[in-house]
Amino acid sequence: MHHHINTLHINKFMKTTAKLLAGFGSAMLLLSSCGNKQNQGGAAAAGGPPPVQSFPVFKIEAKNTTLNSDYPATLQGQQNIEIRPKIDGYIDRIYIDEGSVVKKGQLLFHISAPQYTQDINNAAAAVASAKADVSAAQLQVNKAKPLVEKDIISHYELESAQYTLQARKAALVQANANLANARTNLGYASVTSPVNGVVGTIPYKLGSLVNSSTTQPLTTVSNIGNVYAYFSLNEKQLLEFSRHYEGKTLEAKLAKLPQVSLILSDGSNYPEKGRVETISGLINTETGSASFRATFPNPMRLIRSGGSATIRIPQSLENVILVPQKSTYELQGKRFVYVVDAKGAVKSTEIQIMDLASGQYFVVTSGLKAGDTVVLEGTSNMQDGMTIKPDMQGEDKVYQDLK
């Protein structure tokens, strides 16, 4: 009887243990299955397509713009005249100061030259002597004439007296010329301005000995009613200029050139506009450039001779393709942009641009056309063929810096 009971207990224990093992195995299978599903999901997430990024894009539109070509220039007054003494002497009076505005004929300096006063006295005495000689010779002629007529003296003596009279008259003419020359020289003691202008530096002070061979001039008078700005174009720039403006000759092309601007040395714009008037007929073989001259009115006398400035020549362009510089990138000396198609795929596209930029924009000569969609910025991590989410930017935002 006891043996039977033990057998029952043993069977019950075995069944319970089997159930527990079966439940534990099911739980392990369930955990394993969940773990595999999670691993599979993570792998799918890691190996799937990356999220589509958004980039700002814009549509290309034809625009009008002005390109500015800048050239360094030197400034000169319309007339720069060195004032030099014509006689030797000491400066005893200075009537003007440096920077004075003077009129034509205005007295600038007086030179003390007593030797020229003495020359006048000597010349005047010589004139008086020559007049006396002429008078004496005239008396001899008057005396000889009746004697010849009465055959008291020969005709030869009358001719001799007449020749002497001619010589005395010639000597008088020379004496008068010497007197006039002496008076002219004394007149040079007063130095006047030959033009309207502005006085430059005055290196010689009162008491300075000066003469016609002195190294420095007494001063310089600059007529700065107009100023000339001299600048140069090299051969390439000259050819581009010739192609852009119509006309059979350079003079005809210059006539169609718009008014030019002057940028002063402090970066400010000179208020008056100028015109390019002349060009050198030859290209300098040493520099390979041709010289131009632009004339600017200078009513306020703001510009003085010898200064430096920049000539700005505008060039108007109509209906050209402009692209912001930040939308482009350079690779191996070539310029590219990313063009976006209708599906959002980007394509690296080479463009040709003009050497001269319009502010923050490149002028595109080939590679783009109006209506193309281009990535505005953020292209550093972009790859050819990738798909983006286009964020269209308005014209006012893209071209807001365009002048």
Are the beta carbons of 96 and 344 closer than 8 angstroms?
Answer: no
In the predicted structure, residue 392 carries a pLDDT above the cut 60: yes
pLDDT in tens, 299-321: 877 777 788 899 998 888 888 99
Supply the pLDDT for residue 41.
44
In the predicted structure, residue 350 carries a pLDDT above the cut 90: yes
Q: Say which CATH number the domain at 288 has.
A: 2.40.30.170
- Tell whether 21 is covered by a domain: no
**Pair 207, 236 in one domain:** no
Supply the pLDDT for residue 273.
92
Span 143-170, average pLDDT: 75
Domain end position, chosen among 274, 289, 316:
316
Span 132-153, average pLDDT: 76
Supply the pLDDT for residue 162.
78
**Pair 388, 335 in one domain:** yes
Domain end position, chosen among 287, 316, 345:
316
Between 229 and 252, whose confidence is greater? 229
Domain end position, chosen among 252, 281, 316:
316
Q: Say which CATH number the domain at 324 has.
A: 2.40.420.20
pLDDT in tens, 264-308: 988 889 999 999 887 766 666 667 778 888 999 988 777 777 888
**Pair 207, 328 in one domain:** no
* Total domains in the fold of the chain: 4
Span 151-167, average pLDDT: 74
Between 232 and 143, whose confidence is greater? 232
- Tell whether 403 is covered by a domain: no
- Tell whether 30 is covered by a domain: no
Supply the pLDDT for residue 108.
96
pLDDT in tens, 3-38: 444 444 444 444 444 444 444 444 444 444 444 444
**Pair 119, 98 in one domain:** no
Q: Say which CATH number the domain at 177 has.
A: 1.10.287.470
**Pair 238, 311 in one domain:** yes
**Pair 240, 148 in one domain:** no
- Tell whether 393 is covered by a domain: yes
Rounded Cα distance, 47 and 34, in Å = 20
Residue 236's pLDDT band, with cuts at 50, 70 and 90, is confident
Residue 133's pLDDT band, with cuts at 50, 70 and 90, is confident
**Pair 207, 246 in one domain:** no
Supply the pLDDT for residue 34.
47
Range of the domain at 229: 70-76+223-316
Supply the pLDDT for residue 156.
65
pLDDT in tens, 183-208: 988 899 999 999 888 898 999 999 99
- Tell whether 160 is covered by a domain: yes
- Tell whether 328 is covered by a domain: yes
Are the beta carbons of 290 and 282 closer than 8 angstroms?
Answer: yes
**Pair 151, 94 in one domain:** no
pLDDT in tens, 357-390: 888 899 999 999 988 999 998 888 788 888 988 9
**Pair 95, 198 in one domain:** yes
- Tell whether 47 is covered by a domain: no
**Pair 136, 244 in one domain:** no
In the predicted structure, residue 42 carries a pLDDT above the cut 50: no
- Tell whether 279 is covered by a domain: yes
**Pair 164, 118 in one domain:** yes
Residue 150's pLDDT band, with cuts at 50, 70 and 90, is low
Partners of 321 in the β-ladder: 62, 364
User: What is the 3-state secondary structure of the chain?
Assistant: CHHHHHHHHHHHHHHHHHHHHHHHHHHHHHHHHHHHHHHHHHHHHHHCCCCCCEEEEEECCEEEEEEEEEEEEEEEEEEEEEECCCCCEEEEEECCCCCCEECCCCEEEEEECHHHHHHHHHHHHHHHHHHHHHHHHHHHHHHHHHHHHCCCCCHHHHHHHHHHHHHHHHHHHHHHHHHHHHHHHHHCCEEECCCCEEECCCCCCCCCEECCCCCCCCEEEEEEEEEEEEEEEEHHHHHHHHHHCCCCCHHHHHHHCCCEEEEECCCCECCCCEEEEEECCCCECCCCEEEEEEEEECCCCCCCCCCEEEEEEEEEEEEEEEEEHHHCEEECCEEEEEEECCCCEEEEEEEEECCCCECCEEEEEECCCCCCEEECCCCCCCCCCCECEEEECCHHHHCCCCC
Residues of the chain with pLDDT > 70, as a percent, come to 82
**Pair 333, 280 in one domain:** no
